[in-house]
Amino acid sequence: MLIKEKIEVSNCLKNKVVLITGAGGGIGFEAVKAFAYMGANVIIAEIDKNNGILAEKSINETFSCKLVEFYEIDISNETQINKMVEYINNKYGCPDIIINNATIAKIGALDEITTELWDLSYSVNLKAPFIFTQKYIPMMKNRNSGIIVFVSSSGAAPYMGAYEIFKTSQVELSNTLAMELEKSNIYTYTIAPGLVKTKTAMDAIEIISKEMGMSIEEFYSINKKHIIDVEYAGTGFALSVLKAEAYNGQEISSIQVLMDYNLIGTENIENNSIFKIDENKMEKIRFYMDKISNTYVQQYTGWKAMNIFEKQWVIRDFKKYMGLTVEQANEKIISINNNIKNGNIKIINDEKIFIEKLKEYWKHQLKLLQSYEKNKIKLEENTKIINGWINDISEIL
């Protein structure tokens, strides 16, 4: 196992109860293995009886335990959900962790998908996670603790509307929940697994690639940078709950989690030798990074001085796009700038994802500006300013 070989987290979730849907195989199964290794009691809510039984037997035998229990359920059926909730409450009490992993991928052009398939996808991919939330949030509030994880996808894509629309809606469901639970010890976030060759994904890709006029091999070749091994994806799911407070209100990915635990990296670099550049270029990098740092610090100071309603909106909007609080981003930018001043050019590679996210956030601000600024002169001036910020990051990258 990846975590058994790389990090020490055995029994760190001892006596915790995890409810994970759709975990009879694929990513969910790998997540259950990791949870069992971490000592948690896990309920596998699965529609496929054979897969569920095998998953329970296999994992319990692997760890010589009785931590995993399979519960057969069709989560598109609210009556069955109610029965399962009652069963779990009687046997375990309220789960500490809920992973909304189950999915159904209905593929086809929007004008060809039947309303029956649309409704089924809605029931599994959005309604069920909502029902679980309604059932368990009151219990979690009573004890002031809990974690609810939603599983998102990449967003709008051709022939995937009946799937993506509901999966991306889980992001907004999580964001809304996070805001409502801001002052509690209940955490929620969404996690995207990446492109994983599970049976569900491969069946869908076979249809999508055909619709797009390419072979399956061509599809995977085009998207090879986004493919992640199923064990890595599942391990990312499980490990994410250990950092639930840090990820609260964010949309993250399995890859991000694994990088946060140093299980994978963009490059295995032991020294800065390949980053040695001439002093003129180094001065240019220092110049632009200093500009970026000053720009953000000025923004940060301005946000903190806003009235409570404006400040809350900006801070939430920033966290949604950046995956960090404004305070965390401020500390990170200052640290990057200080590293570069001291000649550590490698920091740009280490923090490339963060720097690229900041660039996208400023593009988002530019888009917002076009909508609300009605004064043409101010619009031109501020457009030029924000484009300058975006250019500064382009120069660094």
List the catalytic residue out of 71, 163, 187, 247: 163
Q: Is the whole model's pTM more than 0.85, yes or no?
A: no
Enter the tokens of residue 325.
Answer: 């609080």
Residue 45: strand pairing partners: 21, 71
Euclidean distance between CA atoms 355 and 61, whole angstroms:
45
Dihedral sign (CA 177, 182, 187, 188): positive
Give the per-residue pLDDT at 276: 53
Enter the tokens of residue 20.
Answer: 């994970």
Enter the tokens of residue 191.
Answer: 């996690």
Enter the tokens of residue 197.
Answer: 């060759």
CA 151 to chain centre: 7
3-state secondary structure 13-66: CCCCEEEEECCCCHHHHHHHHHHHHCCCEEEEEECCHHHHHHHHHHHHHHCCCC
pLDDT tens for each residue of 359-397 = 999 999 999 889 888 898 989 999 999 999 999 998 888
Phi, psi torsion values for 43, nearest 5 degrees: -100, 120
| Residue 216 parent element (H or E) | helix 216-222
Give the per-residue pLDDT at 204: 63
- Let me know if 163 is a catalytic residue: yes
Residues of the chain under the 50 pLDDT cut = 266-275
Residues in the chain: 397
Which option is the CATH number for 2-260: 3.40.50.720, 3.40.50.2300, 3.30.470.20, 3.90.550.10? 3.40.50.720
Longest dimension (CA), the chain: 71
Give the per-residue pLDDT at 251: 87
Domain residue ranges of the chain, discontinuous segments joined by +: 2-260, 273-396
Enter the tokens of residue 143.
Answer: 């004890």
Give the per-residue pLDDT at 195: 67
> What is the chain's alpha carbon radius of gyration, rounded to the nearest angstrom?
23
Phi, psi torsion values for 214, nearest 5 degrees: -140, 165
Give the per-residue pLDDT at 199: 64
Give the per-residue pLDDT at 34: 96
